[in-house]
Structure 1
Amino acid sequence: MHNVEQLRADVARMTSAPGDDTPPSKSKTFRKAFDDLVRGWGQHELWLQLGWQDIKQRYRRSTLGPLWITIATGVMSLALGLLYSMLFQISVPDFLPHVTVGFIIWGFISGCIKDGANVFIENEGLIKQLPSALSVHVYRLVWRQLLFLAHNMIIWLLLVFIFRIHLGWNFWLFLPGLLLLVVNGVWVAMFFGMIATRFRDVAPLLEALVQLLFYVTPIVWTTRTLKEQGGAVEKRAMLAEINPLYHYLEIVRAPLIGQPVAGYHWLVVLACTVVGVLVTLLAMKRWRFRVPYWV
């Protein structure tokens, strides 16, 4: 009980800055939507603490704590990596890093989509009682997913050591790739969070869709293997290019496993990012002030 009261006091202190009291009729502008994102970023002390508190609360009284995230991801990656390497007849040193890093990045992407759908619903109390930018809850979610990602990167370090993966200058491309993932995580959580708050059937629909996308995204299989078979199989492999999540995976996964990144992957991701941000700003312009009523 003391921890809850202390957290409320901290939140109240960090949100003591003047809020956005603009009447709804005057808040339907792109400037107000963008100001919400800027104001939320300025309250970084709040969402950084809340995101870290989420991790501590989830693994409270656990001996290994957040390392359970790493263990679960590592076991699943090892099992599927060994299985599919035998099915596709690919050497384990080549295939296991592909699967494992794919799982790690997919965890961040799927977390932003699925948790993003409930981001405002789960923060109903804070939204109604405390003055803060709506984007604070989105930044909190993305920060929490980044912490999960950081824990899972321990597995990647083990793979680099065990398989002696050569990382050249191409390795540093994972930094802008990760930055693009974070930016996309923000607009995805904000957009689907508003939609799912208004229409509650969206959240379970997104969860089912994410599960489907996992199987059609090259995580436990590779496009190169399918293309090498030629014929109709090669043409079907080209369908993977239509899936934008494949390109998001590649700009981060390839540098981390010592492979080059084709330029068109960056172009697709940049195009999707620009479109996604613009659509989200439009949605914020129309619906941002309605979220406290919908929750």
Structure 2
Amino acid sequence: MSVTEFPELADEMTVMTFPDAVTDISEAIKKHHLATTFGWQDVAQRYRRSRIGAFWLTINMSVMIGALGLIFGNLFRTPMQEFLPFVGCGLIVWGFISSCLSDGCTSFIGAEGIILQVRMPLFTHVMRTLWRNTIVFAHNLVVVPVVLVIVAAPISWVAILALPGFILVSLNLLWMMLVLATICARFRDMTQVMQNFLQVIFYLTPIIWQMKTLPTGMPHYLFDLNPFYHLITLIRGPLLGQIPSPVTWLYAIAMLAVGWLFALWLFGRYRKRIPYWL
């Protein structure tokens, strides 16, 4: 049976908006143990029979940070004590954000079997994806204090602010992942489009280069409008002993409010169509 064969059914499926979405998300939060269990299993399955396990992720990230830090640090002629922690924290946070968005595209597609056979809140699969990447992020975060010690960089109490920053970033990622999962369930090519988009954003965002290296006269506000710059700064800044500016906090909070309103509308409108798209 196809939805397109029954227009009245299609109309009924697009009537529900906010209430339907809120109900699904609320139920998924109440049953959060499902998402955490699936997320742990995903990581365990990936590194089953490995002696080091998920710490291979930490090793890979360490090698990347060391290579990019040495290469670009010398190219930009920036002191290693300053540049290596900057690149290290930037790559780790960007890895978390980009992985969440990339995997978020396939949150529903990858759980096709469960969605079609088990009655479960759809938002559970988005939470599962976020939790899986949070575990990976936690493994990679071990590199940060090691890098700071190696270059003898000071560790400030400001690092505590990285926790509320991480929560705010995660809440923003959740609505982005929900939107991407819904759209990509219908339009599969959007997954590839998103991956290409993330590659471009990586170079447009100060991750492996610093704002002070921009040519004289380059308008900085063009980069301040980049939402990923603010999301990265919320976590990277405190880890480097820098307090994020009020503009960054307000930008992220405003994006959170507007983004969730849009996500609830989109998810509520097309939620019942998702199983048919799969």
Aligned residue among 25, 29, 37 for 1:49: 37
Which one-letter code corresponds to 1:128 in the other structure? Answer: L
How far has the Cα of 1:175 moved from its partner? 1.1
Equivalence for 1:149: 137
CA contact (8 A) 1:121 1:197 kept: yes
Verify: 1:86 aligned to 2:67, yes or no: no
Displacement over 6 Å in runs of 4+: none
Equivalence for 1:112: 100
Identity %: 39
Equivalence for 1:211: 199
CA contact (8 A) 2:175 2:263 kept: yes
Superimposed CA distance per residue, residues 258-285 of structure 1 (whole angstroms, 9 cap, x where no aligned partner): 1232111111111111111111001012
Which one-letter code corresponds to 2:261 in the other structure? Answer: L
Which one-letter code corresponds to 1:230 in the other structure? Answer: T
SS in 1 for 2:92: helix
Map 1:109-258 onto structure 2 (within 5 A).
Answer: 109-226=97-214, 229-231=215-217, 234-235=218-219, 237-258=220-241
Equivalence for 1:103: 91
CA–CA distance in structure 2, aligned partners of residues 180 and 27 of structure 1: 31
Which one-letter code corresponds to 2:231 in the other structure? Answer: Y
Which one-letter code corresponds to 2:187 in the other structure? Answer: F
Aligned residue among 65, 83, 107 for 2:53: 65
Of residues 167-176 and 277-286 in structure 1, the stretch that sits farther from structure 2 once superposed is 167-176
Superimposed CA distance per residue, residues 57-110 of structure 1 (whole angstroms, 9 cap, x where no aligned partner): 111111211111111111111111111111111000100011011111111110
Superimposed CA distance per residue, residues 184-210 of structure 1 (whole angstroms, 9 cap, x where no aligned partner): 121111110000110111000001100
CA contact (8 A) 1:116 1:193 kept: yes
SS in 2 for 1:260: coil
Q: Alignment length, in residue pairs?
A: 268
Superimposed CA distance per residue, residues 112-166 of structure 1 (whole angstroms, 9 cap, x where no aligned partner): 1111111101100000111110000000000001000000011012123223433
How far has the Cα of 1:27 moved from its partner? 6.7
Equivalence for 2:267: 284
Verify: 1:28 aligned to 2:11, yes or no: no
Equivalence for 2:9: none
CA–CA distance in structure 2, aligned partners of residues 48 and 262 of structure 1: 33
CA contact (8 A) 1:101 1:156 kept: yes
CA contact (8 A) 2:14 2:270 kept: no
Q: RMSD over aligned Cα, in angstroms?
A: 1.6
Equivalence for 2:6: none
How far has the Cα of 1:169 moved from its partner? 3.6
The normalised TM-score by structure 2 is 0.92
How far has the Cα of 1:26 moved from its partner? 9.2
CA contact (8 A) 2:158 2:241 kept: yes
